[in-house]
Chain A
Amino acid sequence: MLSKNDVARVAHLARIDLTEDELKLFARQLESIVQFIDKLKELDVSSIRPASHTPALKNVLRPDTIKDSLSKEAVLENAPKSLKGHFLVPKVIE
């Protein structure tokens, strides 16, 4: 059973502020989705290799050659906030 606390924990991991109503709604909806996907537990998959990638693809590499970087202006053009050629964010405390 997905509690409101579980949903709040996941929302924090995903960095999304949820309203009280959203917390309740998602707890209910995610619970029913999780019940649905629990169907997978019926299968014995102990001997199956996971298919994380298309089997045909491997060893895709590029040569160590230089490609043009973006101009500094283009890098920062979309930035909501920037200062002195940098992206600006609220103070990060270490």
Chain B
Amino acid sequence: MKLWEFTGHELLEKLAHQEITQEEILCALDKRREEVEPKVKAFVRIEKAPAPLDSPGPGAGFPGLPIAIKDNICIKNRPATCASRILEGFKPPYDATVIQKLKNAGFSIYGQTNMDEFAFGSSCENSCYFPTRNPWNLECVPGGSSGGSAAAVACGEAIWALGSDTGGSIRQPASFCGVVGLKPTYGRVSRYGLIAFASSLDQIGPFTRDIEDCSVLLKVIAGHDPKDSTSANLPVPDFLLSLGKDIKGIKIAVPKEYFSLSENMALEGITQEVNQAIGEAIEQLKKLGAKVQEVSLPHTEYAVSVYYILATAEASSNLARFDGVQYGLRAGAGSAEGADNLIQMYKRTRQAGFGSEAKRRIMLGTYVLSHGYYEAYYLRALKVRALIANDFANVFKDFDCIITPTSPTPAFKLGEKIQNPLAMYLSDIYTISINLAGLPALSIPCGFSSGGLPIGLQIIARSFDEEMLFRVAHCYEAHTSWHKMRPKI
């Protein structure tokens, strides 16, 4: 086994026993990257000398261990572009709180990963740099928006990585790339330094190759941050204690709007192979002692609408600051004169700086907030959001977790959905509600399509009960070997 094939906790153990050195890890990753990066294109920026950049403090648990970071998380004095031309040349003068925490723990920041521009997308095709490809099949997308982080971890270019999830941007690419991806509870991880897409939905979370790494990484980045008013002031449990437990008697709900428990009755839109893989995973969980029962989340059909109203409205406002005044791209005012001069500078900068999907979402968000439409769309969406959250609360009165497919399909082909925004939006149908309700959820590999593409199982728990996610997922992982599969590339 090559060094890049090991997980983070395995490498830490080897380092602790002085079987390997940190230089050897970096060297192995470099070599792996040289082999596969030209094909996968997961990174938008690589640190040339990925030495431990910041001397870890005493007791730092992760001496020099490299980690890849999505390009929308600020690292002091390094570019952060959100894969958008409009942030060309921008170097934040500060570290995101998660970066500060990683540095304190001894991590070295190894490279920044590709994404859909401003996290707008589900395929990593909306990047101003290049599309990232799925390591399992280079014709396919890695998912998005955190496609670069997912692909890098899947093909061994990174041990682990951080992404962000607003409507599925961690879980869906994790599912497409056959890795573990976690969206923590809203408020569990500080958003300070995450370039906002939709402030009320965004969370930073880890990509790893197994559940133990996921729990280890969450422990590092989680916790109350006085710089983020939406950060929860709650203690962070020792997630490792949730691992290795059985799941006998755990009550699992399967919402009928997401998945049909009756055999050969796949829901519309879900592929037969996904249906089968999820069905088998549920059988496995039953075998392990879980009690599985069908439930209803009656407002599921409204989730995509609510999401695209709220997320684009917030985005239209969050992205207003990209105007050519303080940082990033700036276009000239052209031939405009007088009072039009400034307005033209704004308009041309934003025309040149934003890609097509960003423009589309800013337009939609502006529209739903504009005079005469606020109540019909935005306010109504806020109310339906409350109904959706309430659906989940009702289920969690009687159940410990909920299980669904992460995505109705395995990875699709590049170009397949890029011309049809609505079809692309619908690929997030199983992940979106979880952000609307603020709940924690993870995606774990649970099978493959006949074409050799990974399939992911989504586990959802109560707010701030990531321990339940880890407990169920770790138990499942211990009795399956999907997470050990590596793409042949």
Contact = CB atoms under 8 A, between A and B. Distances in A.
Q: Find out whether A and B make contact in their complex, taking CB atoms under 8 A apart as touching.
A: yes
Given A15-B346, A80-B324, A80-B330, A36 B200 contact: no
Interface residues on B, range: 35 or more
A3 interface: no
B129 interface: no
Contact of B363 (A30, A51, A54, A74): A30
Interface of A: 6-7, 9-11, 13-18, 22, 26, 29-30, 32-34, 36-37, 39-41, 43, 45, 48-54, 56-57, 60, 62, 70, 74, 77-81, 87, 89-93
Interface in B357-374: 359-360, 362-364, 366-368, 370
B232 A48 contact: no
Contacts, number: 158
B362 A16 contact: yes
Contacts of A13: 366, 370
Contacts of A37: 305, 308-309, 368, 377, 381
B481 interface: no
B187 interface: yes
Nearest to A2: B367
A62 B386 CA distance: 29
Given A26-B359, A34-B364, A48-B383, 14 more contacts: A13-B366, A13-B370, A14-B320, A14-B362, A29-B422, A41-B380, A43-B380, A45-B384, A57-B232, A78-B89, A78-B90, A89-B345, A91-B341, A93-B339
Interface of B: 89-91, 93, 186-187, 200, 226, 229-230, 232, 299, 301-302, 304-306, 308-309, 316, 320, 323-330, 333, 338-339, 341-348, 350-351, 354, 356, 359-360, 362-364, 366-368, 370, 376-377, 379-387, 389, 421-422, 425, 438, 463
Contacts of A53: 200
Contacts of A17: 344, 347-348, 350-351
A59 to B, nearest CB: 10
A14 B316 contact: yes
B305 A22 contact: no
Nearest to B353: A16
Contacts of B328: 78, 80
Contacts of B299: 43
A49 B389 CA distance: 12
Contacts of B325: 79-80, 87, 89
B421 A40 contact: no
